Amino acid sequence: MNTAVIILLAAGLFFFTGGSVGILRFPDFYSRLHPAGKCDTTGILFSLSALALYSLHDFSLQAVLTSLKILLIVVFIFITSPTATHAIVDAGVRAGLSPWAKEPDAEEDRT
Amino acid sequence: MDRVFLYSGIYLCLLMTLPLYRAALGPTVPDRMIGVNAIGSKTTVLLIIIGIIYKRVDMFVDIALAYATLNFITVLATSRYFQKRKGLYDYQRPPKKFPPEGSAH
């Protein structure tokens, strides 16, 4: 059981690392939303399921209720994190933020 | 097993400095919102790890749930506020967007 907890926690931390490096290194606002939306959700799924599995260590009603609450957090994050990402990209689009292109000023020179 | 959670918490704290860079001096305002959202979702996990270290998971789970809700409401409110301000942060690639005066005819 400890091995499963450590493997799940390491997987969650791996996804968190990928998401953070992606947020830091992607060139554009719209492409930065991709690691921010996905890797955080998957990292929370893995690491919180590891912590829910660990809190079932001494089996009692209190431990089961705590694990159910942790899984409730996972369900809540799975609903709200894509919603938050969509709200951020909606704000960016409506404010007129231009996406990243390979030749940024080729079209401007032609006019 | 306690040591594993301690080192995971320390690693998660160190990992928060990367979105903090994006939140502190990101070039546009939605970049800052991305950084704040990433830090908040990492804090939700970190709170439960702190609860396991102090052996009070039943209390810290409620704090983590409240923090997740607060993070979601914060991002929604800031995005609804900033989407009404057109042209507030259109300063991507400033040297190419604003050519020098000699080149314009």
Which ipTM was obtained for this model? 0.83
CA distance to A4, A24, A27, A85, B41, per residue, from A11 (Å)? 11, 20, 26, 23, 16
Burial class (CB in 10 A: 0-12, 13-18, 19+), A18: middle
The total of structural domains in chain B comes to 1
Q: What is the mean pLDDT of residues B33-45?
A: 91
The answer to the question of residue B24 being in a domain is yes
Which residue in this structure is represented by tokens 């990209």?
A89
Per DSSP, helices labelled H in chain B are: 2-15, 17-25, 29-53, 57-82, 94-97
Q: A111 to chain B, minimum CA–CA distance in Å?
A: 11
Range of the domain at A61: 2-96
Residues of chain A in contact with residue B45, where contact means CB-CB under 8 angstroms, are 12, 16, 43-44, 47-48, 51
Range of the domain at B24: 2-83
The answer to the question of residue A104 being in a domain is no
The answer to the question of residue B99 being in a domain is no
| Per-residue model confidence (pLDDT) at position B95 | 44
| Per-residue model confidence (pLDDT) at position B97 | 45
| Per-residue model confidence (pLDDT) at position B101 | 52
The answer to the question of residue B12 being in a domain is yes
| Per-residue model confidence (pLDDT) at position B96 | 46
Statement: residue A38 has pLDDT above 80: yes
The answer to the question of residue B59 being in a domain is yes
The total of structural domains in chain A comes to 1
Q: What is the mean pLDDT of residues B34-61?
A: 91
Q: Who's near A69: CB < 8 A, 6+ residues apart?
A: B61, B62, B65
Give dist(CA B18, CA B36) in Å, integer.
11
Q: Is A23 at the interface with chain B, CB within 8 A? A: yes
pLDDT tens, residue by residue, A44-103:
999 999 999 998 887 888 888 989 999 999 999 999 999 999 998 888 887 777 777 766
Q: A4 to chain B, minimum CA–CA distance in Å?
A: 12
Which residue in this structure is represented by tokens 């702190």?
B50
The answer to the question of residue A56 being in a domain is yes
Q: What is the mean pLDDT of residues A21-43?
A: 88
| Per-residue model confidence (pLDDT) at position B64 | 92
The answer to the question of residue B96 being in a domain is no
The answer to the question of residue A108 being in a domain is no
pLDDT tens, residue by residue, B77-102:
988 887 766 555 555 444 444 445 55
The answer to the question of residue B78 being in a domain is yes
Residue window 12-71, chain B: list those with CB within 8 Å of chain A.
Answer: 12, 15-16, 18-19, 21-22, 28, 30-31, 33-35, 37-38, 41-42, 44-45, 48-49, 52, 57-58, 61-62, 64-65, 68-69, 71
Q: Is A76 at the interface with chain B, CB within 8 A? A: yes
The encoded tokens of residue A88 equal 């951020």
- pLDDT band for position A108 (cuts 50, 70, 90): low
Report the share of chain B in percent with pLDDT over 70.
Answer: 79
Which residue type sits at B19? P
The answer to the question of residue A110 being in a domain is no
**Mutate which: A20, A34, A111, vs B, most B CBs within 10 A:** A20
| Per-residue model confidence (pLDDT) at position B43 | 93
What global pTM score does this model have?
0.81
- pLDDT band for position A106 (cuts 50, 70, 90): low
The answer to the question of residue B66 being in a domain is yes
Looking at every residue in chain B, the average pLDDT score rounds to 82
| Per-residue model confidence (pLDDT) at position A103 | 64
The answer to the question of residue B101 being in a domain is no
Statement: residue B27 has pLDDT above 90: no
The answer to the question of residue A109 being in a domain is no
| Per-residue model confidence (pLDDT) at position B93 | 46
Residues of chain A in contact with residue B57, where contact means CB-CB under 8 angstroms, are 51, 55, 66
Residues of chain B in contact with residue A84, where contact means CB-CB under 8 angstroms, are 37, 71-72, 75-76, 79
